Structure 1
Amino acid sequence: MIAATSVLGMTAVLGGCGLGGGSGEVTLRLVAADYGDSASNSSQKYWDKLVKAYEAKHTNVKVEVSVYSWNDVDRKVKELVAAGKAPDMAQIGAYADYAAAGKLYSTADLLSIPVEADFLEPLADAGEVKHNKYGLPFAASTRVLFYNKTLFTEAGITPPKDWSELAADAEALKAKGVKYPFALPLGSEEAQAETMQWLLGGGGGYTDDIGTYTLDSTENVSTFTWLRDNLVAKGLTGPVAPAELNRADAFAAFADGDVGMLNGHPTLIQQAAKKGVKFGTVAMPGRNGKAKTTMGVADWMTAFKQNGHREQIGDFLDYVYSEQNVLAFSREYDLLPVTNSASEAMQASTQDKDLRPFLEELPLSTLYPVGNTSWAAVSADIKKGIGRAVAANGNPAAVLGQLQAAATLAESGK
């Protein structure tokens, strides 16, 4: 999930049927995740404003939105579906299980052709299960390498273009007493993201072109062997073992000026700026130059069949994905737009110049294998175990082999 820091847990009573108060009136129910970090910027405010504008033009349709924290939203939707009270729409972190069970409308069932065609291609493709699109990308993010300009100047170094330069820069930062020359968060919070970024840079990834897991590939084992030997073993990743370092703590340390380099997403921009850290960003280095692809992340909008209302859901989602609404949401929460029209508008706008490095990476990014119904289980295993691969006595081949075996079993459904 892109944002998992919300402290809000707003609830509402959800019903199972769809007809509302007036004659012919339809009530649509949407469960959505909260991207805010306080009451002042809760996603509830975004949805309330959007719904008010929509209902003003559609007097026969009411939309009720219930916003939950990222800690609760996927579980809440699962409970509602299990109880036979599926919402009409759910904006959540995954969709494949519901699609495989035949519970979702496809994108083609819902959206007008111009809206469906406007999604960025890698995001649209990631929403597929068995060649049909069921997950509508709702918000996106990519990763770039952040570096502390002040620390780099003091160490007399420039941003790295490949792994050998990255290791050399980390050595120089360590020599200057930098606490975390390179922060490597492989803790349980978001290890699957950091792992994927490095795998892509090493020419590997989680799956092959047809979605089969390849966690223990030669390229992936080589990548984690390099991390163990060239960064961790040399004390270049800081005082906290990568297996114990979470992404939020690494970001906080960067904002405190204690980190030389780390992989970061757009929310780090404001976090660092608020603390007065002078930073720069570059494309994530790969083994022999710029990584051919970076990691992209998307959250998903889904539409459940249970209550019917396909036409009304489709019309509402056409409105949700209008350029002005996609831009408003992306700017409110420092995320990347999922449509070509909004992305082009953001690229051309001076107010969004800090996001341009991320926008440039998104069209060619590689996303998690979210179309695999096993991905949630595989991701959880990676979070729990991948940090062991770079420990002092770690065995990357053994750890990745164990993860591969579990992934193969999970994909088989046994």
Structure 2
Amino acid sequence: MATAVRRRRFLLQTAGLAGATAGLGLAGCDSAGSGATLDVLVASYDKSVGASLGDQWDKVIAAFRKKHPGIKVKLERVPFNKIDKTLARRVEEGREPDIAQSNIFAPYGEDDRLYTAGELFNISTQADFIRSFADAGTVDRELYGFPFLASTPRLFYNKELFRRARVGDAPASWDELRAAAEALKAIGVKTPYGLQLGPEAAEDEALSWMLAAGGGFTDLVGYDFETQPNIDALTWLRDELVAGKLAGTAPERLDRTEAYEQFLRGDIGMMIAHPVLMGAADQARLPYAHAPFPAKDGGTPAPIGLSDWLMAFKRNGHRKECGAFLDFLYSGQSAAAYGGSQSALPVTYTASDAVRDEPAQRPLWPFIDQLPQARFAPVNMRSWPDVRGAIRRDVGRAVLDKGDPVSVLKSLDDAAAKAEVAGTA
């Protein structure tokens, strides 16, 4: 839990979120409202870190109230590392909020506790969600999880270290990545490639490599870990990076937050990272660049997509009010302002186009251009939290000396099968 808090603090320290809501008052439509009070449960972050999502929510709500004076909003903040458990407890106790932020939405959608997008949004707003993110939020053909704080990573690299190692362009294949890592090692870089298979977010690193090899976590019918592309990906990492000390001393323990900090110190030469790293690198005056993560044999694979999710619960009967609030949040200038920052990418086509048209937002353009191709872990499956835990616990073992990728992937299939059975019990 402490790791998750540390990661979120790092993101907020480097993101500059406070200016992201400057245009929020421009969106929405006038409405007298019903006199109802919306109970909104969101994640909170330490106030001491400077930029705070709590401050941003206050601005969102103030702007919404100007457009909808008849709808009150009661905001409840919960520490991010407790948000999922707090929401689950509230649901179990029959005290669902009207709107909640969480990493988990599939069980609530399957149990018919949530409003669908069709019950909340006008047609134009529904159609405006970027398809890859809308698909990830869909359960049984209904959109229940609304993407929020979206991101997609790229391959970041230290340009000065690349220059000193006489590495030219960013690697465009795995062979080129290994060659670049060997050159970085030769000039004394501690960790040529930052392989982040620690328990904070091992699933993201693993999925990036598996997608780049033509694999993934699922097929058309469900989980499918023990596939030849996945075996090839983990085997290559074990034999071509880890065995040669090109991925540091303990990749199975390297967490994302620690990797970002090592990159900023110049101890990591290249790594997968999210746009939030740009703000920190700029502050540190670190010479960096980024490129698409390379496919195994060259080319550009689908990037992974990441998002938190918003959802609206039925229990209190505030469908109209929930719809007004969420439609305001995701429409027009609201969505552009909320999504146009280094910590969160826009999740609608309209907002993406707006950010893409602003020269000041040029650093975000390559990340935004990736959004439609993003591929997600199966976050819309009830069993995903348990399966994610198994990946975080086990996948790092596959790339260690004498690690067995086949055995690890088989164990993940077994864990997924058990989680699926438990979810239907």
**What aligned pairs does 1:233-382 form with structure 2 within 5 A after superposition?**
233-239=243-249, 241-332=250-341, 334-382=343-391
Aligned equivalents of 2:343, 2:418: Cα separation in 1? 37
Residue 200 (structure 2) aligns with: 189
Cα drift, residue 54 of structure 1: 1.5
The corresponding residue for 1:202 is 213
- The 2-side partners of 1:135 and 1:147 are apart by 33
2:287, 2:331 → 1: CA distance? 35
| Structure having the larger proportion of residues in helix | 2
Alpha-carbon distance in structure 1 between the residues aligned to 2:46 and 2:351:
21
Question: CA offsets per residue over residues 106-148 of structure 1, 9 Å max, x none?
Answer: 1111111111111000111111111111111122111100010
What residue number does 2:73 align with?
A: 63
Percent identity reads 40
Q: Which runs of 4+ in 1 moved over 4 A?
A: none
Task: Return the alpha-carbon distance in structure 1 between the equivalents of residues 279 and 183 of structure 2.
Answer: 27
State the alpha-carbon separation in 1 of the partners of residues 369 and 70 from structure 2: 41
- The alpha-carbon distance between structure 1 residues 69 and 62, as it changes in their structure 2 partners (threshold 3 A), is same
Cα displacement (A) at 1:194: 0.5
Judging changes above 3 Å, is the alpha-carbon distance between structure 1 residues 408 and 278 closer, same or farther for their aligned structure 2 residues? same
Name the counterpart of 2:181.
Answer: 170
Rounded to whole Å, the distance in 2 between the matches of 1:327 and 1:237 is 38
Could you tell me which residue of structure 2 aligns to residue 14 of structure 1?
Answer: none
User: Structure 2: which 5+ residue stretches go unaligned?
Assistant: 11-32
TM-score normalised to structure 2 length: 0.90
Q: Are the counterparts in 2 of residues 200 and 291 from structure 1 also a CA contact under 8 Å?
A: no
Using the alignment, how far apart are the partners of 1:138 and 1:367 within structure 2?
14
Q: Which runs of structure 2 are paired with 1:46-57 in the superposition (5 Å)?
A: 46-57=56-67
Distance across 1 between alignment mates of 2:305 and 2:83: 21
Q: Could you list the runs of 5+ residues in structure 1 that have no partner in the other structure?
A: 9-22
1:77 is matched with: 87
Letter of the 1:410 counterpart: A
1:118 to 2:128 alignment:
yes
Give the match's secondary structure for 1:71: helix
Q: 1:201 to 1:332 in 2, by over 3 A?
A: closer
Q: 1:24 to 1:225 in 2, by over 3 A?
A: closer
Kindly state the Cα deviation for residue 73 of structure 1 after the two structures are TM-superposed.
1.1
Give 1:35 deviation, angstroms. Answer: 6.2
The CA distance in 2 between the partners of 1:206 and 1:166, in whole Å, is: 23
Please report the TM-score for the alignment, with normalisation by the length of structure 1. Answer: 0.92
Query: For 1:199-236, what per-residue CA distance to the aligned partner results, in whole angstroms no more than 9, with x for missing partners?
Result: 100100000134x1111111101110000000000010
- 2:392 is the alignment partner of 1:383: yes
Matched positions, count = 397
| Structure 1 contact 147–262 (Cα < 8 Å) conserved | yes
User: SS state of the match for residue 68, structure 1?
Assistant: strand
Which letter maps to 2:196? P
Q: Which residue of structure 1 lines up, in the alignment, with residue 144 of structure 2?
A: 134
Once structures 1 and 2 are overlaid, which stretch shifts more, 103-112 or 316-325?
316-325
Amino acid at match of 2:220: D
Pair 1:333–1:144, CA change in 2 (3 A): closer
1:236-256, Cα deviation, whole Å (9 max, x unpaired):
0123x1111111111100011
